[in-house]
Amino acid sequence: MSTRMNSFSDRIDYPLLMTWLLILALGTVMVTSTGIAVDPGLLPRQGVYLALALMAFAVAVLMPLRFWQATHRFAWLLAVLLCTLVVIPGIGLEAKGAQRWIPLGGFTLQPAEVAKLLLLIYLAGYLARFDELIADDSLALVKPLGMVGVIFVLLMLQPDFGTAVVLAAAACALLFLAGARLRHYLLVLVLGTLAFMLLIYLEPYRMARVLGFLDPWAQATGGGYQLTQALIAFGRGETFGLGLGEGIQKLAYLPEAETDFIFAVIAEELGLVGAVGVIGLFAFFIVRMLRIGRLALEVGDKFAGYLVYGIALLFGLQTMVNLGVNTGVLPTKGLTLPFVSYGGNSLIISCVMLGLVCRAWWEAQDG
């Protein structure tokens, strides 16, 4: 009996699990703190989302990774289908100038969140078969880039610029880790930069965000409003914060305080110490996942290794963008802080991703 218990115990990465639970608890507390001021109904809804997310996490942990590997081609097709359906008039739900949601009774599905997971599953399955060709065969690199490009275009049609850029960046970084040469990316980088600049120039609201980012105080009531209010929150927080629940900016001053700008609320209420602590938790969390990805590759499980690397890169990039937006390092973009921001789609899919990481660790112990 003790041998069986020890075997089960060895299949759990306790540092990763405990860090995740701390981040999850922090998110619940901060959503509660923000909800008191913004919408008292946030906490009950977030409680439902959390329960669903934990169940989804358990399912992901218990399901063998070979299932996902066997269906990785279907995963890409499903991502394309969902991202296509959401932009069809009458199916997708439009709100705030974007069409990113599909209403399903009392729940709204955000295909972009599901597409992030499905695309990473496809890339992991592809690299498990062809990673040895990536370095020298241009066609072996062009195919996955093309698949990523299709999802990118569909996300831009919604439009969901932030998710599209982060997902494309994570995919390219994963292909680079798999052996793609830097010179193969030069043309992609040049074209991508030009397209990025063009997309900003052609959309007035994106240009306003960039101008607000460059000089937010000059447009404190316009394009720089969100950033200035976030920076005021950081200033109010000083070293130790105003105290949990005592934040002022969330009281109708800071838009999207419970989602995109929850880190600013953390900084105001918990201060510099709390903000640095959150950054430290995420840094350890992501490094730990990268370690699991390396271990999976070392035991010969390429699919698990590349999948975990992709998930770690995605979490890392999304976290950096969210923190960068909150602190004024990057232009305002609508991306949540994983496991912390309010919202069902992001929380559920993030927990599924972590469940896959934990499953990879589980299977690596048998490798």
pLDDT tens-place string over residues 69-98? 999 999 999 999 999 999 998 898 887 778
Distance, CA of 206 to CA of 11 (rounded, Å) = 46
Domain region containing 94: 2-364
Distance, CA of 97 to CA of 110 (rounded, Å) = 15
Q: What percentage of the chain carries pLDDT values higher than 90?
A: 64
What pLDDT sits at residue 3?
A: 42
Looking at the whole model, is its pTM more than 0.85? yes
What pLDDT sits at residue 73?
A: 95
Distance, CA of 194 to CA of 343 (rounded, Å) = 33
What pLDDT sits at residue 8?
A: 60
On the CB side of 367, CA atoms within 13 Å amount to: 18
On the question of pLDDT at 184 being above 80, the answer is: no
Q: 73 near 80, Cβ under 8 Å?
A: no
Please give the tally of structural domains in the chain: 1
* Chain segment 147-169, per-residue pLDDT in tens: 999 999 999 998 888 899 999 99
Q: Is the dihedral of CA 59, 60, 64, 67 positive or negative?
A: positive
On the question of pLDDT at 7 being above 70, the answer is: no
Task: Please compute the mean of the pLDDT values over residues 93-105 and round it to a whole number.
Answer: 84
On the question of pLDDT at 356 being above 60, the answer is: yes
Q: Specify the higher pLDDT residue, 333 or 172.
A: 172
